[in-house]
Structure formats: structure tokens, C-alpha cells
RNA sequence: CGGGGUGUAGCACAGCCCGGUAGUGCGCUACGUUCGGGACGUAGAGGUCGGAGGUUCGAAUCCUCUCACCCCGACCA
């Protein structure tokens, strides 16, 4: 993979969109900046949701749902948060249309129906949720609150890109409230770990866990943790964030509780989220020129069976064999599709399922029926082999595990090969232009240096890795002392 | 908001410079031959050429206005 794709970096954008289209995942909507997620794309997102939701439940969280609309005054309460999102908010100002007296059949906004107070379409839900938590929390006995919501949010970006940045997107946002700082800090850390585990185990995408710099921090947070993935064109992608909010939102929304000594204290909070952007990450981390490659753990279809037949009779014979196999595979908990359409030829189907990234394909024709065999092909390596039909079910679990592992290993190898340590600004610039990828360099810790490098190179500090070993060095830009390396990259 | 571009069939486009009443490929429909890696043939269906106005005997084509979308910047925890 990697090689062919990175050699055409300039075409990567188009290549990405091609994969989205070929795999039938999504398309641009007629609505500006918005996306239609097609059934197949959505089925992959559902698999992600299911896996994540289980992990949230396993760590003690429950789901709830809060309103789409946030009154402006409520939105403003946490100043930094409001300021950070102000530039990209959609606002509802009216609640009624009326027929246009000057233009038959058309409608106009009824000027008489202006809202007393405009409603912000949530770009994130801290405001509405913390204003609700105020009502839910009186005592330390009410804590912690560990709530997640699956929702859509709207951020009016100037430029959008399918999955990676759309005006409206689907996500989950966890919002927790705690009695102590320590507990909230641990929660933020825990959820970052959950995200990293999801990315690596399910998406087969290695990620760096780190901390954002001041300038990249979530507005209103005390600390923003993130996972950063590396895409095949050498650009970084922020794949998830987990914020320690301190008492900022509790103070802004006056959320206090009485502790077990009878004293009033402000609540500590966290929030964390991942979005349909993960679909973009999945595509850019694994796809090849033939389309998408889905890790088995997220594949809506694990195995597709394509019959090869010339007439009804042959199909009947094949179907009899396939029925047995399908039963065996489903008994193992796998999702199996038998594509017996007579409207498309086998070659067409082969290509179609490859574009869609189905991990395993089984072809069975008259020859196989005679010999009691099938042809089995794996999507990740394109390897094909013929084996006795009775061997399929016993070996399939190991095969899927192997595919999952192989995809991960490739991505990890790619990241390792595209992670570079540099000790000078010249080197940093050169690596950025020649190769891209993650660049480990010393930084003096100032926002000025960070901004200057961003201005000059378009590279940002993706994160300060949590596991960065202490190492004395000099900032590549200013020459001032630094005690560890941070990760620079150009990013999506 | 700056710079550039495009609107013609479901999709991708040609035609516009030089005005004469719309075409190609894919897709779609029917029939036949095909079917172990994206089939082929034949016959069809499908378009007020983004919108409004103007010039002209005649406008997809020229002029004016307008709307929409795309790309590059700015923006994007």
C-alpha cells in the first residue's frame, strides 16, 4: 500500500474522494457543506458506534440525549468556550415562514416571528449539558455523573471534506461530573485510553496519545488529551479528544455540590468525543488503489460468497453447497453475504466487494461443486487460494484475526517509517517537504515559537506525547532549552 | 472576505472563439449472445443548454444582470 499512494501525494485528495465514492460510503449533499452517508458507509459507522458504546458502558457510562438548540445566553456562559466556537455557529432567529406576497409559491421568513432570544445550533453540548447538571447535582451523593450522548452537531466551516470536516457531523460526546479533581483527571485519561484502544484494536490504526499545547486546547478546557493518527499521505489526523475541564463549566453554570463535610464545592468535569471523522481516518489509514480495506472487527460483512454460474441449474447446485457453508459461518457469529444476483457477473462482483473492503471473499463455481472446494481471497493482501469447503469454517476465525493484525502491522510499520527525529529547523522543514509524517523535535514551550513554525511551514504541534521520555535538548526554532520532544506534522 | 473556475441527459464532459434549433462516453430499458476478474451486439428512452432580460429573421453560442456550485487562500478546539 503506502508506497504507491505516497508517491502521488498531490493527488491524494482526489484519491481519497475516489475511495469514498467507489466504496459507496458517502456523497456531498445538495446542502452546502453537508454530507449524505450512504447505507454502506453508515453500516460501518454503526459498527464503530456499537464497539465504542460497549466500551463506554463497560467503563460505567450511560447514554442520554440533550437538545439540539442552545439559547444564546446559555451558550455564552463559559466565555472561552463560546468565543472558541463563535465563528462557526449556525443560529436560529425565527420560527415561522409565510407565503411571499410578491412571489407566488415561494416562502419568506416571517419578520413577525423573530425569536426573543436566538438559538445556537450546538457545535458541542457542554453549555446545555452543564446547565442541566446544575439541576441534577446537589450533593456528593449525586456524583459522579457519567453520561454520553450520540448526536449530531453543526460547525459552519468555510471548507468541508467528506467525513473529515463537514458542516454537520455525527459523533458521541461524553460529559462527566465529579466530586474531585483527581477523579475527573483520571476519567479524562481513562477515556483517552478507551479511544486509543478502539483505534488500535478495532480500526487497526496505531495512534499517538498526547496532550495538546495551549493554542490547540479545547476552548474552556484545562487540559486536552488527544489521539493522533498518521495517514498514508504523511499528514496527521486528530482522531479523538478527551478534555479535563477543571471547574470551568461548573463555575460558569454555577454547578456546586455539598461535600461530605457539609461544604459547598464546584464540580469537576470532563468531556470527550469522537466523530464520523473516524470514517475518514479508516479510509486514509488503510485503503489502496482498489478501494477500501476494512478491518474485520468493523466490517459490516465479514465474508461475501460469490457464485459462478451460467444457468439456474448450476446456481441451484451451488446454492445447496453454499447454504451449508453460510450456516456454519453464521454459527461462528460472522456476517455473511451470499450474492446470488443474476444481474451482475462474477467479475463485477469481485471488483465491487474489493472496492467496499469486504475482508474475505469466497467464490464457488461448477468446478468447485465437483471437487468440493472453494476459492478464498483475502482483501488485505489480494491472496487467493483454493481449499476444501470443509476447511473454510474451521479456519475462518484465525484468518480474520490474521487480516486484522496484518492491517494493523502495516499501518504501524508505515508510521514507524514516517516518524523522524530532527534536531534543526532546516531538517524539520526538509523532512516536512520531502516526506511528511510525524516529526519529533525539541520545542521551547512558547506559543510564539509554535505560531512562527506554523506560519512558516504549515506544520502544527500535534501533541506532546504522554510517554515522551525526558531528554535535554534545544528548541529547533529558538535554540532555547527543552526537556522533551514534541510531535510536529502537517495535519488535516 | 480575496484570487481563479464551472453551470448543457442520472453522472462525466464536448459544442461556445466564428449564431442556423444539441452531441459523445458511462449509466438506464428491451432482446440476443455471454458468465472462473469490472462482457458484447442490436434497438430504444432520456435535455425549457442554471435563471431573467437584451441583440438578431434565428441564441447553448454574442451582450447585460442574477443565482448556484467547485478549486486555491483566509478559517478549521
Q: Are A400 and A360 in contact (CB under 8 A)?
A: yes
Measured from Cα to the C1' atom, the residue closest to B1 is A158
pLDDT at A2 over 60: no
Max CA distance (Å), chain A: 81
The CA distance from A279 to A94, in Å, is 35
Q: Are A211 and A223 in contact (CB under 8 A)?
A: yes
pLDDT attached to residue A196: 98
Return the higher-pLDDT residue of A61 and A15.
Answer: A61
- The answer to whether A123 CB is within 7 Å of strand B is yes
pLDDT at A5 over 50: no
Q: Which of residues 407-436 of A touch strand B (CB under 7 A)?
A: none
Q: Are A9 and A234 in contact (CB under 8 A)?
A: yes
pLDDT attached to residue A100: 76
Nucleotide nearest to A214 (CA to C1'): B77
Residue ranges of alpha helices (H) inside A295-391 are 312-331, 346-355, 366-371
pLDDT attached to residue A266: 98
Tell me the torsion sign for CA atoms A225, A230, A235, A240.
negative
Q: Among A22-26, A64-68, A145-149, A241-245, where is mean pLDDT lowest?
A: A22-26
Strands (E) across A235-380 are located at 236-246, 256-258, 264-266, 268-275, 303-307, 336-338, 360-364, 373-378
pLDDT attached to residue A11: 66
pLDDT at A27 over 50: yes
Parallel/antiparallel/unpaired status of strands A107-109 and A97-99: antiparallel
Q: Which of residues 299-338 of A touch strand B (CB under 7 A)?
A: 308-311
Give nucleotides in strand B with any atom < 7 A to a protein C-beta.
1, 34-39, 68-77
pTM of the prediction?
0.95
Phi and psi torsions of A379, nearest 5°: -70, -35
Mean pLDDT of chain A: 93
CA end-to-end span of chain A: 20
Phi and psi torsions of A119, nearest 5°: -110, 130
pLDDT attached to residue A6: 37
Nucleotide nearest to A369 (CA to C1'): B36
pLDDT attached to residue A192: 98
- Per-residue confidence band for A105, with pLDDT thresholds at 50, 70 and 90: low
> Percent of chain A, pLDDT > 70?
97
The CA distance from A204 to A407, in Å, is 6
Q: If we measure between CA atoms, which residue out of A488, A479, A415 comes closest to residue A450?
A: A488
- The answer to whether A348 CB is within 7 Å of strand B is yes
Ramachandran region, residue A184 (left: φ > 0; alpha: ψ -120 to 50; beta: rest) = alpha
Mean pLDDT of A472-478: 95
Edge-to-edge strands, sheet with A145-154 = A62-63, A145-154, A168-178, A268-275, A236-246, A223-230, A207-211, A460-465, A485-489, A438-442, A419-421
pLDDT at A97 over 80: yes
Mean pLDDT of A210-221: 95
pLDDT attached to residue A247: 98
Place of cell 466556537: A85
The CA distance from A462 to A353, in Å, is 35
DSSP tag of A110: -
Q: If we measure between CA atoms, which residue out of A281, A81, A23 comes closest to residue A164?
A: A281
Nucleotide nearest to A29 (CA to C1'): B69
Q: What is the CA radius of gyration of chain A?
A: 26
Whole-number Å distance, CA A381 to C1' B77?
A: 38
At A98, is the secondary structure helix, strand, or coil?
strand
Which residues fall within 8 angstroms of residue A292, CB to CB, at 6 or more apart? A19, A22, A23, A25, A282, A283, A286, A355, A356, A357
pLDDT at A10 over 60: no
Mean pLDDT of A92-112: 81
At A427-461, the pLDDT tens digits run 999 999 888 999 999 999 999 999 999 988 989 99
- The answer to whether A157 CB is within 7 Å of strand B is yes
Q: Among A90-104, A116-130, A286-300, where is mean pLDDT lowest?
A: A90-104
Nucleotide nearest to A491 (CA to C1'): B76
Nucleotide nearest to A81 (CA to C1'): B77
pLDDT attached to residue A7: 38
pLDDT at A128 over 90: yes
Residue/partner pairs of A331-335 with CB below 8 Å, 24 or more apart: A331/A393, A332/A393, A332/A396, A332/A397, A334/A302, A334/A303, A334/A396, A334/A400, A335/A299, A335/A300, A335/A301, A335/A302, A335/A303
- Per-residue confidence band for A338, with pLDDT thresholds at 50, 70 and 90: very high
pLDDT at A104 over 90: no
Amino acid at each position: 500500500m503506502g508506497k504507491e499512494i505516497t508517491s502521488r501525494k498531490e493527488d491524494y485528495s482526489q484519491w481519497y474522494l475516489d475511495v469514498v465514492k467507489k466504496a459507496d460510503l458517502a456523497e456531498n449533499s445538495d446542502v452546502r457543506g453537508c454530507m449524505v452517508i450512504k447505507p454502506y458507509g453508515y453500516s460501518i459507522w454503526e459498527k464503530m458506534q456499537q464497539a465504542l458504546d460497549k466500551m463506554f458502558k463497560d467503563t460505567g457510562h450511560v447514554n442520554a440525549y440533550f437538545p439540539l438548540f442552545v439559547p444564546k445566553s446559555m451558550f455564552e456562559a463559559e466565555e472561552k468556550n463560546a468565543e472558541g466556537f463563535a465563528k462557526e455557529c449556525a443560529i436560529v432567529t425565527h420560527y415561522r415562514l409565510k407565503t411571499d406576497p410578491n412571489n407566488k409559491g415561494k416562502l419568506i421568513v416571517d419578520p413577525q416571528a423573530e425569536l426573543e432570544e436566538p438559538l445556537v445550533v450546538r457545535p458541542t453540548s457542554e453549555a446545555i449539558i452543564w446547565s442541566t447538571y446544575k439541576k441534577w447535582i446537589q450533593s456528593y451523593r449525586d456524583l459522579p455523573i457519567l453520561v454520553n450522548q450520540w448526536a449530531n452537531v453543526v460547525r459552519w466551516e468555510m471548507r468541508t471534506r467528506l467525513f473529515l470536516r463537514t458542516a454537520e457531523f455525527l459523533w458521541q460526546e461524553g460529559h462527566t461530573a465529579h466530586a474531585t479533581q483527581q477523579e475527573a483527571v483520571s476519567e479524562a485519561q481513562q477515556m483517552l485510553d478507551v479511544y486509543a484502544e478502539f483505534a488500535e484494536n478495532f480500526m487497526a490504526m496505531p495512534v499517538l496519545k498526547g496532550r495538546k499545547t495551549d493554542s490547540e486546547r479545547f476552548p474552556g478546557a484545562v487540559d486536552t488529551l488527544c489521539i493522533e493518527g498518521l495517514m498514508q499521505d504523511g499528514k496527521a489526523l486528530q482522531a479523538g479528544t478527551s478534555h479535563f475541564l477543571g471547574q470551568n463549566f461548573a463555575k460558569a453554570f454555577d454547578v456546586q455540590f455539598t461535600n461530605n463535610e457539609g461544604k459547598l464545592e464546584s464540580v469537576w468535569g470532563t468531556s470527550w468525543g469522537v466523530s464520523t471523522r473516524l470514517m475518514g481516518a479508516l479510509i486514509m489509514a488503510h485503503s489502496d488503489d482498489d478501494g477500501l480495506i476494512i478491518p474485520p472487527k468493523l466490517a459490516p460483512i465479514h465474508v461475501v460468497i460469490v457464485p459462478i454460474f451460467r444457468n439456474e441449474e448450476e446456481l441451484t447446485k451451488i446454492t445447496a453447497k453454499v447454504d451449508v457453508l453460510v450456516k456454519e459461518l453464521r454459527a461462528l457469529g460472522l456476517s455473511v453475504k451470499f450474492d446470488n444476483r443474476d444481474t451482475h457477473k462474477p467479475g463485477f462482483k469481485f471488483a465491487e466487494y474489493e472496492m467496499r473492503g469486504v475482508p474475505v471473499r469466497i467464490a464457488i463455481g461448477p468446478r468447485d461443486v465437483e471437487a468440493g472446494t472453494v476459492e478464498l481471497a483475502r482483501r488485505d493482501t489480494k491472496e487467493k487460494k483454493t481449499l476444501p469447503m470443509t476447511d473454510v469454517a474451521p479456519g475462518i476465525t484465525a484468518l480474520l484475526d490474521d487480516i486484522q493484525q496484518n492491517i494493523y502491522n502495516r499501518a504501524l510499520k508505515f508510521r514507524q517509517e514516517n516518524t523522524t527525529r530532527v534536531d534543526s529547523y532546516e531538517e524539520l522543514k526538509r523532512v516536512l517537504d520531502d516526506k511528511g509524517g510525524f516529526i519529533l523535535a525539541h520545542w521551547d514551550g512558547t506559543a510564539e515559537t509554535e505560531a512562527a513554525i506554523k506560519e512558516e511551514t504549515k506544520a502544527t504541534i500535534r501533541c506532546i506525547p504522554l510517554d515522551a521520555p525526558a531528554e535535554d535538548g534545544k528548541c529547533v526554532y529558538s535554540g532555547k532549552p527543552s526537556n522533551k520532544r514534541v510531535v510536529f506534522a502537517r495535519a488535516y
